[in-house]
Amino acid sequence: MGNREVPHLEILGQQTEASTLGKHGFLRGSEPEANDVVLVLIPSLLAREAGGVGRFELEAATVREALLQLPVRDLVFDERGTLRPLVNVYLNRTQVDDLGGEVGAEDEIRLVAAIAGG
Amino acid sequence: MGAAVLVGTRKGLFVLTSDESRREWSVAGPHLTGWEVFHAMRDPRTGTLHAATNNWVYGATAHRSPDLGETWERAEGIGLPEESGLSWEKSWHVEPGHADEPETLFLGGTPGALFRTDDGGSTWEPVQSLIEHPTREKWNPGAGGLCCHSIQADPSDPQRLYIAISAAGAFRSDDGGETWEPKNQGVAADFFPDDNFPEVGQCVHKLLVHPAQPERLWQQNHCGVYRSDDRGESWERLEGNGLPSGFGFPLALDHDDPDTAYVIPEEGAENRVTPNGRLGVYRTRDAGASWELLTDGLPQQAWASVMREGMSFDRLDPAGIYLGTQGGSVFVSPDEGDSWLEAARFLPTILSVEACEWS
């Protein structure tokens, strides 16, 4: 976890300075029964839209819960909350279709755009 | 004050700049890499750049830049209400509202929908009256989808707006977008076997209001070139008098002369290239009574295509006319179409050009 850069995280609509965050990127002692922290990695285009941040450490119980905290969630999901069909989600390097699957500490979620186009 | 052309392409936004002579051009960009820029413009009221942006994976949205492209912000949460059963598919065109409402803009796109912002583009709300338009079930998508591609604010009346949708036709609102009346009388829909002049269903390719004579509208349609002198109440078909074809997509005007217009005909719907193996712009100076071919400086051997947003005009004197081809060339006429120069080439496929001031 050491070198992950988290200059800013927009978490549930609140902009939070990294310097005020705990080692996992969250305000210390914020929730007594906090969920585990998972790592979310997003492609470069999404990272540009997120202000240059491609790695997020997010507190979440499920894959969907983690992805909905991303500042680019409107690009990952459509207006109905449906995952866009050409966005593939990998949990610990295995593609998952069920975004309701539980996640735990040290899990890694990676978004990969479908490979095609011209 | 310099001149600029915002060039939206399949692979980002390019900015061409020049001095007022408009004869030497520099190319900057691309901005918004990874995004297809269907249209971009500089809001003359605020100086902000706005872009209608699409990505085949991440969907349709809009971006704006308050600092001439140094930084960009994406509009979030653009979407159609669940009860409509519609989803926002493509952002096609972003247009400033009336001069007296500098924070109001409109964003049009697929599926035949319009968004409005009253805070300069931070938040966008769907125009419900268009989603629920009583004629919507009669609308049909063109090859580019059911796209709302033309949006025009009447400079003489903040309440009056025009839109055009392929293939639904032209609509006018006299109450700031609360209601919309079809304005397609006299406009052909030759592709319907039973009724060639329906209330709606026309395949408008581009619609413009003349800025100095706003009761005059021009329209390049799938089925002809048209002019209206009564705010769209009736339309007169204008080809057969110098134009090789009534089929084409882009349209440009002369900001100072309501009788002048420019089109780029294509052979027809089944062969969408410029006719006679060359890139020709056709100009009328008599409100469409006659058309002349402009070729000076344009390639004489070409099978080109210019998309519906691919032509523009500036507000300088003499008027500058601009076009961008799908082959990635930008041509500029600094003298009302009399002569042309190639300002850029080998850009990605050009989707839009829009002239603006630059400083």
Which domains are seen in chain A, by residue range? 8-113 (3.10.20.30)
Nearest to B87 among A46, A74, A78 (CB): A78
Per-residue pLDDT reduced to its tens digit, B126-161: 999 999 999 999 999 988 899 999 999 999 999 999
pLDDT, position B87 = 95
Which domains are seen in chain B, by residue range? 2-358 (2.130.10.10)
CB contact under 8 A, A45 and B59: no
What letter represents residue B340's amino acid?
W
Query: pTM, whole model, 2 decimals?
Result: 0.91
pLDDT (average), residues B49-74:
97
pLDDT (average), residues B116-122:
96
Please name which of B206, B207, B199 lies closest in space to residue B135, comparing C-alpha atoms.
Answer: B199
Count A/B contacts: CB-CB distance under 8 Å.
45
- Chain A residues close to B59, C-beta within 8 Å: 74-75, 78, 84
pLDDT, position B240 = 81
Q: What is the nearest CA distance from A67 to chain B, expressed in angstroms?
A: 14
Q: Which residue on chain A is closest to B348 by alpha carbon?
A: A118
Q: Which residue on chain A is closest to B74 by alpha carbon?
A: A49
The structure tokens listed for B258 are 């309501």
**Gap between the Cα atoms of B114 and B91, Å rounded:** 9
3-state secondary structure of A44: helix
Please name which of B119, B115, B114 lies closest in space to residue B102, comparing C-alpha atoms.
Answer: B119
pLDDT (average), residues B63-73:
97
SS (H, E, C) B96-134: ECCCCCCCCEEEEEECCEEEEECCCCCCCEECHHHHCCC
**Gap between the Cα atoms of B240 and B46, Å rounded:** 42
- Chain A residues close to B83, C-beta within 8 Å: none
Whether residue A18 lies within 8 A of chain B, CB to CB, comes out as no
Which residues 81-100 of A have a C-beta within 8 angstroms of B? 84, 86-87
Band (pLDDT 50/70/90 cuts) for residue B51 is very high
- Chain B residues close to A52, C-beta within 8 Å: none
**Gap between the Cα atoms of B93 and B163, Å rounded:** 11
Whether residue A27 lies within 8 A of chain B, CB to CB, comes out as no
Nearest to B57 among A48, A49, A87 (CB): A87
CB contact under 8 A, B76 and A74: yes
pLDDT, position A14 = 37
pLDDT (average), residues B254-258:
97
Q: Are strands B161-166 and B350-358 parallel, antiparallel or unpaired?
A: unpaired
How long, in residues, is chain A? 118
CB contact under 8 A, B88 and A75: no
- Chain B residues close to A117, C-beta within 8 Å: 56
Low-confidence ranges of chain A (pLDDT < 70): 1-33, 116-118
**Gap between the Cα atoms of A106 and B29, Å rounded:** 40
Q: Which of A20-29, B177-186, B264-273 has the highest mean pLDDT?
A: B177-186
Band (pLDDT 50/70/90 cuts) for residue B301 is very high
Q: What is the nearest CA distance from B326 to chain A, expressed in angstroms?
A: 15
pLDDT, position A115 = 77
Q: CB of A117 within 8 A of CB of A86?
A: no
pLDDT, position A22 = 30
Q: Which residue on chain A is closest to B72 by alpha carbon?
A: A49
CB contact under 8 A, B59 and A80: no
Nearest to A78 among B33, B59, B74 (CB): B59
pLDDT (average), residues B306-323:
97
Report yes or no for ipTM above 0.85. Answer: yes
H/E segment holding residue B208: strand B204-209
Mean pLDDT estimate for chain B: 96
Q: What is the nearest CA distance from B58 to chain A, expressed in angstroms?
A: 5
φ, ψ for residue B68, nearest 5 deg: 55, 35
Per-residue pLDDT reduced to its tens digit, B212-247: 999 999 999 999 999 999 999 999 999 889 999 999
pLDDT, position B142 = 82
Q: CB of B341 within 8 A of CB of B23?
A: yes
Whether residue A52 lies within 8 A of chain B, CB to CB, comes out as no
Whether residue A78 lies within 8 A of chain B, CB to CB, comes out as yes
